[in-house]
Structure 1
């Protein structure tokens, strides 16, 4: 009996997840990827011969990936080596320094020593509220198909009516943090969680406090970096029968008689399929990047609705002075001014700087520098998503780099950016890789209480075309992109009602998989 073909466009996390789950269920899966490797934004960049993660660097919500591998009859631990991180991140304001830990008591003690016992008490209250918000939204929103605010309220109300009033949808994250912290540095630290989805803490809802609880549940370090996760998902899909074709950009999604019929590659080759999972940004479909016939499948996104982009340096560098951990943040002096500049389409005069020291463990031990004394670094500052416009001048980029080095230098960090071993990615770089985004790395910005409900869901207006990825529901981030791939598969399977009743669902228990018992508590 001939298996039904499904084409997956794009080998980002959402596409890889969909491919593995569908192949495990007997579909004939072909993944078409425009670049030479899997991962999408979770890519590696060759910087002077060193392969450095150029995208996401934080691995959380392990239970999501355990469920994917389990659903495919495999174990995540057989594909990846993961180490639980005890230090979540190191933060610096000039000479002031604060580490946060997986152990909440250790974080409380550190905050008390840093800012006093009242701030430690505020941190306890903040953690309790972040946990409550996460618990309220995990099953009815993140692990469920996209719905309306009314439906979400109904689902939450069935569990606990009081939760309807305590997720802070109408108060900004910055204002919400003021209820817990008086020290502006702590407000700045926890306000930075808004940037995890490319948003401003002055415009996004207080609901995003839940990200703090996501990290508190567990952060892991991956041998081989985050790109190893993409390779693991690729291997899982291949072992279940999926085929991957790289350097194979799709020029058109074919639509016949009102439904998906296949794709046409840039080479002119045509492949037939009645089901297509598109792991590109939905704006690319709406803008006609996949042909005129598919444009009506989704609604587009205006430049004003875009999340932030970034300037990202990947460098094989020598460092000294500051004791880098794996994750490090060097804060600017004026947070409101930083986000005012981004809103105006400009680079911040003095940006907050994130550095992932990929070769270091959470204790700061360099595990892979080698005799050269160099280590692999990803250095990131936020930037507006203007990659499809004039972009930035060389002078503007040079000034931003100088200010970035000034901010890190205030904390005592000396680092080299050797031209032969440093690659800079800009919003224009990301627009070229992910068309119709302007370089926005997180889809829509999470500004305003209704922003999350405006994200594209897995189902589109054209039968047979499904969406997955960090720009679709439930949102940005590696685990969210994986959940979106599971949502796409769930809907596709429902649309194929003839599937065996004995077949397991795309992710056990739907996408309400219980939290991993190995996660750190908070």
Structure 2
């Protein structure tokens, strides 16, 4: 049983205000941690048995396999969060910088490594496609850096950006750079202005899928993801879940009460504002504010009670981001020289996304393989089975057009045949292979239909239509990859920071909070 807060006898001062955080994903963990460090009494309620949310592991034969996000970027975001809590990121997790960001393979047998070193990549581009394409890559890098600089503060660091606020932040001097971010042009067309080689168009257009979107519909500014990777891709020793566990440890040490295996059935509304939650067990917990770290579509669809149905604007199934069909494998991989991250491209990228949009698995999917036991020289570490994670994009229609067992089995056959054509053989007994499909993700993340990234980033306005930290209901706040600033581990962390800041600002009218500035661009009221 959780300790109930009886509002009839307990009237906390704002500096002692009680906060309930629903969900121990990265956004919820960050929000809980930051609020606890400022003296709030924080209770974090999570329905599963462990932290992480989409940052999850699948255990097979005693081997824990990363089976969610597998890339760690924007390290300064986490360093600043840990610094606010009086800690150092390096004291909690061990990070190793990746020298090869990803290896890529095409049906014609060509291969290409994207390097952490920009000039090494330019030379690899020249070897693959010629000097003109290498210059196109250098120009592309210059533009992606400019786009990142134009959007970092005014958009990602802004809790509620608008096109007008972007223009105001840029000022007259910054308007030329802002106009060059090409928001009204698809990422595919933007990439095509720098690369004529269709293989490189695929490679750099694929960044749209990092947001669960199609490169043919996603806006040009998503090119900034290329610059984010150039800033550093890191490998987390022990797996990505170590980040969630580090935040959990620090949050608990800061006074957060963390309760696993507790499902929230309803957000309680009193006098027009969020006043607590009712658990599935029937227990009621009262609070001064509630942060929901989950997909906002769960609120819009009434899964947390009719009283919060209008807290956010929902989106239609057509507006959902991609889902996925994945395989977590403990087995052997021979033949093809896998790197930590390897992508096997389809022959017809447009057809692939057209088929997904029509509600089908692609007849010829692009395949991502994460070989989690590959060392610096790309050879397996140790003699035992390798931990492998395979992913293909899929439609998020599990709630009204679920994929059949036959469709998924057929896709699995096509995946293995494609890998075999590239020279890669993956061997594992059936009991050491776990398949996860859109219906499984829909169960893990209610209200999504299996969508893994919230609303798709299609069209120039999509990023501004993503919900922000404040919902329409006073006292109810949002965090997670489906809210601003968007999908991805660092973006989810920023969303947690935004929600914590919003709570503190809204409760500060009768409290004495003073801004604390930290290196890395973070300030907490």
What TM-score comes out, normalization by structure 2 length? 0.95
Maintained 8 Å contact 1:486/1:506? no
Within a 5 Å distance, the mapping from 1:401-440 to structure 2 comes to 401-440=412-451
The question of 1:182 aligning with 2:196 is answered: yes
* Count of residues in Structure 1 that have an aligned counterpart in Structure 2: 509
1:222 aligned partner: 236
Q: Check if 1:483 corresponds to 2:494.
A: yes
Q: Which moved more, 1:343-352 or 1:158-167?
A: 158-167
Between 1:411-420 and 1:83-92, the stretch displaced more is 411-420
Residue 89 of structure 2 is aligned to residue 76 of structure 1: yes
Deviation at 1:458, TM superposition (A): 0.3
| Offset, 1:507 | 8.6
> Which deviates more, 155-164 or 325-334?
155-164
Decide whether aligned partners of structure 1 residues 297 and 284 sit closer, same or farther in structure 2, where only a CA change above 3 A counts. Answer: same
C-alpha contact 2:154 2:161 (8 A) present in aligned 1 = no
Aligned to 1:64: 77
Match in the other structure for 2:317: 303
Equivalent positions of 1:39-54 (< 5 A) are 39-54=52-67
Q: Which moved more, 1:246-255 or 1:394-403?
A: 394-403
Q: Distance in 1 between matches of 2:96 and 2:360?
A: 38
Distance of 1:42 and 1:220 partners within structure 2? 15
Which of residues 119, 123, 126 is equivalent to 1:105? Answer: 119
Deviation of 1:107 (Å): 0.4
Q: What is the match of residue 481 of structure 2?
A: 470
Gaps spanning 5+ residues in structure 1: where?
A: 513-522
Which whole-Å deviations, capped at 9, do the CAs of 1:266-294 have from their partners, x for residues lacking one?
A: 00011110111100111101111111111
Mapping 1:334-483, distance limit 5 Å? 334-367=348-381, 370-372=382-384, 374-483=385-494
- Indicate how the Cα distance of structure 1 residues 483 and 159 shifts in structure 2: closer, same or farther if over 3 A, else same: farther
Specify whether residues 159 and 217 from structure 1 end up closer, same or farther in structure 2 by C-alpha distance, changes over 3 A only: farther
Q: Is the 8 A contact 1:493 1:499 kept in 2?
A: no
Moved more, 417-426 or 469-478: 417-426
Asked if 2 retains the 8 angstrom alpha-carbon contact of 1:71 and 1:508, the reply is no
Aligned to 2:516: 504
Look up the SS of the partner of 1:221 in the other structure. Answer: strand
Structure 2 gap ranges (5+): 1-11
Distance 1:151 1:64, change over 3 A: same
Deviation digits for residues 427-483 of structure 1, max 9, x if unmatched? Answer: 100100111111100011000000000000000111110000000000011000000
User: Which residue number corresponds to residue 319 of structure 1?
Assistant: 333
* Deviations 1:11-61 (CA, angstroms, capped at 9, x unpaired): 011001101111111111111001111000001112233211110000000
Offset at 1:500? Answer: 3.1
Q: Secondary structure at the match of 1:98?
A: strand
Q: How does 1:199-348 map to 2 (within 5 A)?
A: 199-348=213-362
Q: Could you report, residue by residue, the CA deviation over 1:380-421 in whole angstroms, capped at 9, with x for unpaired residues?
A: 000000121231111111111111112211211110242111
Q: Residue 77 of structure 2: SS of its match in structure 1?
A: helix
Q: Is the 8 A contact 2:219 2:457 kept in 1?
A: yes
- CA deviation profile, 1:323-346 (whole Å, cap 9, x unmatched): 111111000111111011011011
Q: Report the TM-score when normalising by structure 1.
A: 0.95
1:18 paired with 2:66, answer no
Q: Distance in 1 between matches of 2:520 and 2:211?
A: 27
Determine the C-alpha separation between the residues in 2 that align with 1:496 and 1:184: 53
Alpha-carbon displacement from aligned partner over 1:186-205 (angstroms, at most 9, x marks no partner): 00000100000000000011
Q: Which 10-residue stretch deviates more, 420-429 or 389-398? A: 389-398
Offset, 1:506: 9.2
C-alpha distance 257-507 of structure 1, shift in aligned 2 (>3 A): farther
